[in-house]
Structure 1
Amino acid sequence: MKDCNGCIDYKETHYFSKIVVDYLNHAEPLQDFISFTNDLEGIKNAIESRKINTVDRKLLVEGLKNQYKNYEASPVTMDNIEALLNDNTFTIITAHQPNILTGHLYFIYKILHTIKLSAFCKAHFPDYHFVPVFFMGSEDADLDELNHIYADGKKYTWETNQKGAVGRMLIDKAFVKMVDELKNQVEVLPFGDDIISLIQEHYTLGKKIDIATASFVNAIFSKFGLVILIPDDALLKSAALSIFKKEILLSPSKALVENQNKKLTDAGYKSQAYARDINLFYLKENARNRIERNGDIWNIVDTDIQFTTPQIEAELEKYPERFSPNVILRGVFQEAILPNIAFIGGGGELAYWLQLKPVFEYFNIFYPVLVLRNSFLLIEEKSAVNAAKLGLSLKELFLKTDDLVDAQIKKNTKNPLSINSSIETLATVFDNLKDQVVTVDPTLLDHVSRLHKMAIGNLNHLEHKILKAEKRNQNDRVQQIQQLKSRLFPMNSLQERIENVIPFWSRYGKEWIDIIYHQSLSLEQQFAVINLSNQTDL
């Protein structure tokens, strides 16, 4: 494999669910679950539809400008924010929680895809302007999911006792200590000091995680005009008061989602997200708790807080920031405040968005084009050389390790490893035996069949032992394959779902971001493989 660059279909990676693969292939059973196709025609139709599905642009821009007082917007980002006042400007959104230090590689890929698709749309629809937006899921309270990264296989965890929405947590001494430990690993690399300095500049003691994350992401992507939105904002949430009020008082979403889930199940798919009676959390200080209704009383779970109907309506009007959408309503809130035409998400995100169209329709909220985020496998020089030496194709790289080893051992041996001919001969022998015994005692036929089955089992066991012995003969090849797979697919997962950006930045510098941007696709919807040793000229 002299040049690792290329693309393969998502299905051929064997890492994506049936519903995602079918969605990409425009499967007929899924067409009722979407509003627009994920192609140029779908984008065009979404633009026309979005024109009549308006949002409060002045409120949006005011909210964004308030947030950008915490970090400096580049001129192109500020131009994009101002452009949102114009009716011919639309957004393309990706969303993610504030994983520490950006979490997994796909955090970076999602944002770059959003930027690339915005430029693509501008080129194809020059009468309109498109703004890439990162919508931060800052109210997520699952710290165990967000508090760690992997850098070249080593895990770094932020050990903190803070509770509640992760975005509201503060950078503490434990966070600083974790960064210091990370520094010891990467400072020996060519650009290790650069990325650590950038981290230390933006993740400072006492700063909120959402602000630190936004500041860090802004430093990386502001040159592209990326706009970052933190939804934990009283002004922005005030634009969704009617949605929140209906959800609290009428609980419409659960039945709508359950009905949609049944349709998905009937079509042969699994549901991704679970709807509750009230799909909002109560967010206050260091807690994010469910809201449950008991008659005319609303209880905040795991607290002593209760509201009557007038009280919870008053609380919502006075403190909209205290009400936090869960997975069912997060997208509805997003589309209610942004003039968005397309949402870029991972496989899991797209799967649960397919459950939500009736919820959007109920609240009279625009339902955007759904685009699967870009995926990459990054192959560094050592791995590229190993893959070429082994003669592996792109598709073979995605085989399970054991399957790849078996295929390569069989391909690269001169010894006969298959016993198929012996099994065929055995079948003839036992057919003759059946002919022989049937004339003597037909009741012995079942016994002959059992003996035949046992013999086949023994031969298959022998074949397994022969293959195992040949693996020992080709032990060097086996180890090379296992080591290659371990580097490219850590923990038997996709690289992008495990590794963090820091090791790659430390080896290739900030230009690594440009490498990924140049290789990012727009609407092609394929899994890309990049040989980083061939990209140093970018």
Structure 2
Amino acid sequence: MQIEAIHRSSGQPIAEHYMKQFERVSGLFEYNTSDSGVWQARAEWLDRGDYPHAGREELAAVLLRYHEAIGGDRAAAAGIEQLRSGEALAVVGGQQAGLLTGPLLVMYKAITIIQTARQAAEKLGRPVVPVFWIAGEDHDWDEVNHVHLLSSGAEVQRIRMVKEDERRTSVSRTPVSDSEWSAVLSEVDASLPDSEYKAEWMDKMRTAAAQSGTLSEMFARILSMLFGRYGLILVDADDPALRKLEAPWFERLAAGSQPLNEAFLQGQERVKSLGYPVQADVAANAANLFIFEGGERTLLFRDDDGTLVNRRGTVRLTMDELLARARREPESLSNNVMTRPLMQEYVFPVLATVLGHGEIAYWALLKQGFEHMGMKLPPIVPRVEVTLLEGAVHKYMRKFELSVDDVFDRFEERKNEWLKSRDTLGLEDKFAAVKAEFHTAYQPLIELIAGLNPGLRKLGDTNMTKIDEQIDYMLAKGLDAQKSQFDTALRQLERIRVSLAPHGKPQERVYNVLMVVNRYGDGWLHELAAARLPLDGRHLLVYL
């Protein structure tokens, strides 16, 4: 397997500048990860311990309990014990718990977390453990209930888990029945082409599903199976045991929600003042916490009288009632996108966090919020972005002289250029000449008859338009006939497009890992995890 690092724009100006021109965004972040002393500086700050944090003994107990529940690897258990001892620091990153792990980018985030922890441990000479924070508290079922696979017919197939009851509750609290697992896995089985690895991977998926009552549990089992050997520690944000550990911090977040939100608003204004678009909008009356009420997860806002309400007005709590909930029922609370990073910081000794480019853009709002809560925004490592290039696809790209940028940014243009270069008949030019000759000959006739009867001018123009349409129709038919001579080439071009940029999106944001391991096994994943990858935001081309 060959790996090539290239530069590609992320489309996120803040992330681009964070990775390549840090001086332009230095006021939005605490650390520059390109500085050689960043890990030591952060480790020394963490070791002082003069910031709010959970107890390591209690944290280890929560992590071990979850680790045992998902059948975790002993390497991860060893990392949990290192956290307990107080010696280890953590590199943390997370993602929503998608069906069968969701898109490929989840794999690359896990690998980036593992890589960052390993490289930081080498530099510091002390244990650094990789932690994957599963956002099981998220409630957007439609965002996580499907996967995309490339079928044997080279078509992008969407497989969705259908549920009759799709209440706005957390993914970790949404039960999945045996019949629902069976229906999804049957569709996956039918979609994947036969291969030497298919039976093995379908058996692994069915075994994991039989042991999993939710999408997030299945998500954790698959990640543990793939990356537990590298010490990847998994934690579900909606784990009731974790919520008990977080209770004191929920209480502080609730009690100080107004000044904390003001700090977030200051961060938003600072981003705007630098000319950047705001990735996450901060409402002036946001409490930045969710509450579970009547089985549904609903976001809280401050009313004019200080009462905490949801948008629909169906939930109303006084601050005292909310604080009582935090103390007695912390599992009834959860974080939003702004306070989740603060909770992560409270729970773990975060040496660094791994973020996608869009996440980097919204974390740019958070520095003042961290400072207000007595914390420091941690160093941010950009998630490794990957495009997998199969041998046949790469061969076709060479044939058509297409770069990865061509496929992502100008595929139709380059395809049409190639087809036009094969147009030996010059049909477009010849039909255009015929149309021009027709206009030259016909327009004077319209003028002539319009002189006899002005009402005939409109009829003549309409008639000329219809004849133009007929000429265009014959041109289209001729071009279709010509293209049929290139059916094989067009199929190869479509294979390139559907492989690298399905639905016009990067491959890693669409396809599920099962599509790849079905064809190649999981050796390529372990090569990526074992290799020393650049952590500077460059895009990796992986030749399979």
Q: TM-score, normalised by structure 1?
A: 0.82
Question: Quick check: 1:191–1:508 contact (8 Å CA) kept in 2?
Answer: yes
Structure 1 window deviating more from structure 2 (511-520 vs 128-137): it is 511-520
State the AA in 1 paired with 2:368. Answer: P
C-alpha contact 1:291 1:301 (8 A) present in aligned 2: yes
CA displacement, residues 395-414 of structure 1 (integer Å, 9 cap, x when unaligned): 43433212323555688899
* Correspondence for 2:345 among 315, 335, 349: 335
| Alignment correspondent of 1:141 | 139
The residue aligned with 2:535 is 523
1:425 aligned partner:
none
* Amino acid in the other structure paired with 1:96: Q
1:327 positional shift: 0.2
- 2:295 is aligned with 1:286: yes
Match of 2:12 in 1: 17
Whether contact under 8 Å (2:30, 2:376) holds in the other structure is no
AA aligned opposite 1:136? I
Deviations 1:304-341 (A, max 9, x none): 55433332222211011111000000010001110111
Q: Which residue of 2 aligns with 1:430?
A: none
* Residue identity opposite 1:112 in structure 2: I
1:85 alignment partner, SS class: helix
Query: Once the two structures are superposed, what CA deviation does each residue of 1:437-492 show, in whole Å capped at 9, x if it has no partner?
Result: xxxxxxxxxxxxxxxxxxxxxxxxxxxx9xx9799579565664344122211011
The equivalent residue for 1:165 is 170
Indicate conservation of the 8 Å contact 1:92/1:341, yes or no.
yes
Q: Which of 219, 224, 232 is matched with 2:238 structurally?
A: 232
The whole-number CA distance in structure 2 between the counterparts of 1:203 and 1:255 is 44
SS at match of 2:388: strand
Is the contact made by 1:4 and 1:384 (CA closer than 8 Å) also made in structure 2?
Answer: no
Equivalent residue, structure 2, for 1:151: 149
Separation in structure 2 between the aligned mates of residue 5 and residue 472 of structure 1, nearest angstrom: 39
| Separation of aligned partners in 1, 2:8 and 2:351 | 24
Structure 2 alignment gaps of length 5 or more: 151-155, 430-474
Deviation string 1:109-155 (CA, Å, 9 cap, x unpaired) is: 100111112111222222x1110000010000001100000011110
Aligned to 1:75: 74
CA distance in 2, matches of 1:115, 1:331: 19
- Identify which of 294, 301, 325 aligns with 2:335: 325
Q: Rate the CA distance shift 1:520–1:406 in 2: closer, same or farther, 3 A.
A: farther
- Consecutive unaligned residues in structure 1, runs of 5 or more: 420-464, 533-538
Whole-angstrom distance in 2 between the partners of 1:303 and 1:202: 41
2:127 to 129, 132, 145: 129
SS of equivalent residue, structure 1 residue 328? coil
Aligned-residue sequence identity (percent) comes to: 21
Aligned twin of 1:118? 117
Segment drifting more, 291-300 vs 495-504? 291-300
Residue 296 to residue 89, structure 1, CA distance change in 2 (3 Å): same
Look up the equivalent residue of 1:237 and give its one-letter code: R
Q: Which residue of 1 aligns with 2:364?
A: 354
Aligned-residue Cα RMSD (Å) equals 3.0
Q: How much has 1:222 moved relative to structure 2?
A: 1.0
Between the aligned partners of 1:205 and 1:27, the Cα distance in structure 2 is 46
1:303/1:183 CA distance change after superposition, 3 Å? farther
302-311 vs 170-179, greater mean Cα deviation: 302-311
For 2:212 and 2:3, how far apart are their aligned partners in 1? Answer: 43
Partner of 1:457: none
Distance 2:279 2:91 in 1: 23
Mapped to 2, the partners of 1:303 and 1:165 lie a distance apart of 20
1:254-283 per-position Cα deviation (integer Å, ceiling 9, x unaligned): 322222222212212111112241100002
2:235 equivalent to 1:216: no
- 2:372 is equivalent to residue 379 of structure 1: no
Q: Name the amino acid aligned to 2:268.
A: N
Number of residues of Structure 1 aligned to a counterpart in Structure 2: 481
In structure 2, the CA distance between the partners of 1:38 and 1:58, relative to structure 1 (3 Å rule), is: same
Aligned to 1:49: 45
CA distance in 1, matches of 2:532, 2:404: 18
| 1:201-248 Cα shifts (integer Å, max 9, x gaps) | 122277133323222221221111110011223443344445433443
- Contact 1:297–1:307 at 8 Å: present in 2 too? yes
Q: Is contact 2:288-2:301 (8 Å) kept?
A: no
The whole-number CA distance in structure 1 between the counterparts of 2:77 and 2:180 is 34
Change in Cα spacing, 1:205 to 1:80, as seen in structure 2 (3 Å) is closer
